[in-house]
Structure formats: C-alpha cells, structure tokens
Amino acid sequence: MLQVELREDSDPDLDFYYDQQFKVYHEPYLIWERDIWETVLSACSAYLIEAEGNHAGDVILENRGGRGTYIVDLSVLPEYQGKGVGKAVLKRIKGMAKRVTAVTRKETLHFFLKSGFVLQRTMKSYYDPGIDGYYIVFSRKESVS
C-alpha cells in the first residue's frame, strides 16, 4: 500500500484547484466555476493528498462545529485511484472528527459505504436532472472505559 499523507494547504491557489478538477471529473455537472472555488477555498480547509511524496489529489473540509466535519470535495487523481489512497484519506478524516458527513454520487457511494459511512437519504436530482445525490454519515463510537 502507498504511504499517504494529508498536508494542510494554508494558502490555497484558486487556479490550482480550479484546474485540478478537470483531471478528476469528466461530467460537466461536477465542474465548479471559479467563483464557487473562490468561495469554497475561503470558507473551508484544503488539504493536499500526497502518495509516496507525489501530488495525488485533494480534500476540502468544512468544520460544522458540533455537527462535525463535512467533506465538500474529495478528489483523487485518476492514476492514484484504486490504490488505497482514498481509503487512507477517509481513515485520516474519520480520525479528525467524531462525525463526518458528505453528499456523494452513485459511482462513489459503494466506496463510502465500505468505509463505514451510512446512507441517510437520497436527494433526487441533486447534481443535475436525473443525477441523485446520496447524503452519507460516519459517526465514530465513543469508547467505553
């Protein structure tokens, strides 16, 4: 398995994140405009994903206080998909917060469910007409002493 690290990007470059999405997403409804990236990067925490020292993607997290952490975006570059990178990133995120939520699509739902997330509800036509979103939740159990 590859060694995977998350490195907080304290000064995220709008152009970098805007351009990176085109390497990961192939459906137009998944591509954000520059103004959305500007808003997201100013309100959220961005982390670069590194695998064996190479850039492998990014994850954008929103701290929702007592409601936990929301995964705004989790992007793994195609050459690193299927190699355990996403799984390692989710493990790290789940260790950072007691409760983690996200909305995902049909293509990635199984990956999240295998990683311990639970489907809470289906959101009809969330991404685009006919393209549903799936609201998922991971809650870490309290250890009993």
CA nearest to 112, candidates 121, 101, 122: 101
In the beta sheet, which residues pair with residue 3? none
Would you say 56 and 50 are in contact if contact means Cβ atoms under 8 Å apart?
A: yes
pLDDT digit string (tens) for 64-114? 988 899 999 999 999 999 999 999 999 999 999 999 999 999 999 999 999
Specify the pLDDT at position 11.
96
CATH number at residue 45: 3.40.630.30
Let me know if residue 145 belongs to a domain.
no
Domain, as residue range, for 56: 4-139
**Structural domain contains residue 123:** yes
pTM over 0.75: yes
Residue 144: inside a domain: no
pLDDT above 70 covers what percent of the chain?
97
- Alpha carbons 84 and 63: distance in angstroms, whole number: 25
Question: What CA–CA distance (Å, rounded) separates 51 from 80?
Answer: 8
| Closest alpha carbon to 57 in 67, 68, 46, 48 | 48
Confidence at residue 142, expressed as pLDDT on a 0 to 100 scale:
61
41 found inside a domain: yes
Q: How many domains does the chain have?
A: 1
Q: Is residue 107 part of a domain?
A: yes
